[in-house]
Amino acid sequence: MASHRKSRPTGTRVAGIRTPALATAALTSVALLSQSANAAPEADDKPSLEEVEKKVDDLYRQAGSATEKYNAAKEKTAKQRKRADALIDDVAKRTQKLNEAREELGSFASAQYRTGAAAPDTATFLLADTPQDYFDQTQLMDRMTGRQKVAVDDYIAQQSETMTKRQEATESLEALTESQGDLKTAKATVQRKLADARELMSKLTAEEKARLAAIEKEKQEEAARKAAELARQQAAQQQAQEEAAQQDGGSSSSGSAGSGSSTSTAPADSSYATKADKALAFARAQIGKPYVWGAVGPGSYDCSGLTQAAWKAAGVGLPRTTYDQVNAGTTVPLSQARPGDLVFFYDDVTHVGIYIGNGMMIHAPKPGTYVREESIYYDGESAIHSVVRPA
């Protein structure tokens, strides 16, 4: 007799219970969702606060580098524009003289043609591209008076010089166009880097910004400690030098006691100290003014614009960019840095400040900040590139 029982669907057992296939699929989905939920934190690519800080600092440094390239391109463009303008003016004057020489020759040719003293081809030569070749071929020079020959020589010389100056003007304009392209590229790079930095900062929460400020404060406190240590080292070095000078002075005095005379000499570098005081006085007067890339004052500055203006106030001309300022003086050890010296930063020499003593400097740090006094260790000891005495 046939069985009327329905066959049970196959499935899997969970805790000893056979489950239908549909339930098995549901359990599988739940398991996968659970795995995804557990894996979500690991898949989160959001950078840490320290990584954001490093990225922002890097972007500001890249913007600083692009700013110095912009400054160099701007200075080069200005010089090339001045040269191009001068050449164009020169070409215009020479063209005028050439036209005057052409008119004089034309009057000679017309007079000769009217009197029959020369063949009609005398006037035709005025249309020639190379007058000298025309004269050689037709022997026209043999039929000219002394005054006419002088006029022809003058015309040939004027034409040659005008063509040369026109070529120089063309090349100068091409160089100017290239420099303007470099200027535009550098400007776009600065703006892009600053925009990227602002975008990163805008994504931080209020709590993250507060933590970032705390990290920055710790960095500044460490920089201040390093500055104080450098100040102690420099003070000890100065004291040792003064004691050595006193000993030398005492020996000199005792040696000349019999003559009843004494010698007093001013420091050999007093001239530098006087200039440095003027440069520092100017720099201090700029404290609080905003950093603006490419600015040279008087309302705002970038880093090299500030140092250039400060030393200009002391009667010393510095180049515009950090790349050139670093070579505009004598390099000295950091331990021997004196007020007025220029302190350069980073391997690519893209930042500069003016040393005021005790491990401190005045500088225009970066966009969004103001000219201020700060430790030369503001970005760590490794960031210091060199110290240069500019006068």
Side-by-side strand order, sheet with 342-345:
330-332, 384-389, 342-345, 351-357, 360-363, 372-375
Answer with the residue of higher pLDDT: 238 or 68. 68
Worst-scoring range by mean pLDDT, 116-130, 252-266, 280-294, 361-375?
252-266
- Confidence grade of residue 299 (pLDDT, cut at 50, 70, 90): very high
What pLDDT was estimated at residue 373?
97
- The whole-chain average pLDDT of the chain stands at 79
Give 237-274 pLDDT, tens digit per residue: 888 888 888 887 665 555 444 444 333 333 447 899 99
Q: What is the pLDDT of residues 174-214, one digit of tens each?
A: 988 998 999 999 999 999 999 999 999 888 889 988 988 89
> CA 31 to CA 152: how far, in whole Å?
102
CA distance 51 to 54: 5
The confidence band for 14, taking pLDDT boundaries of 50, 70 and 90, is very low
pTM: 0.68
pLDDT at 40: 45
Min mean pLDDT across 59-73, 121-135, 311-325 is at: 121-135
pLDDT: which is higher, 46 or 4: 46
Average pLDDT over residues 126-130: 53
pLDDT (0 to 100) of residue 102: 72
Give the residue, 338 or 158, on which the prediction is more confident: 338
Q: Which whole number is the average pLDDT over 342-348?
A: 96
Would you state the pLDDT for residue 83?
A: 87
pLDDT band at 143 (very low <50, low <70, confident <90, very high): low
More confident residue, 111 or 372: 372
Higher-confidence residue: 15 or 76? Answer: 76
Which sequence positions are flagged as catalytic? 303, 351, 363
Give the DSSP letter string of 268-311: TTHHHHHHHHHHHHHHHHTTTPBB-TT-BSSS-B-HHHHHHHHH
pLDDT of residue 296: 96
pLDDT of residue 154: 73
Residue 144: its pLDDT value, please? 56
Closest by CA to 365, choosing from 190, 356, 357, 374, is: 374
> Is pLDDT of 106 > 90?
no
What is the model's pLDDT at position 222? 94
66 pLDDT band (50/70/90 cuts)?
very high
- The predicted pLDDT at position 145 comes to 58
Tell whether the model's pLDDT for residue 362 goes beyond 80.
yes
- Range in 69-78, 132-141, 357-366 with the lowest mean pLDDT: 132-141
Backbone angles phi, psi at 340, to 5 degrees: 105, -25
Highest mean pLDDT among 55-64, 113-122, 148-157, 233-242: 55-64
The pLDDT score that the predictor gives to residue 21 is 45
Report DSSP letters for 120-167, one per residue: THHHHGGG-S-HHHHHHHHTGGGGS-HHHHHHHHHHHHHHHHHHHHHH
Please give the pLDDT value at position 289. 97
Distance from CA of residue 131 to its chain's centroid?
51
> How confident is the model at residue 31, as a pLDDT?
46
Q: Look at residue 318 in the predicted model and tell me its pLDDT.
A: 97
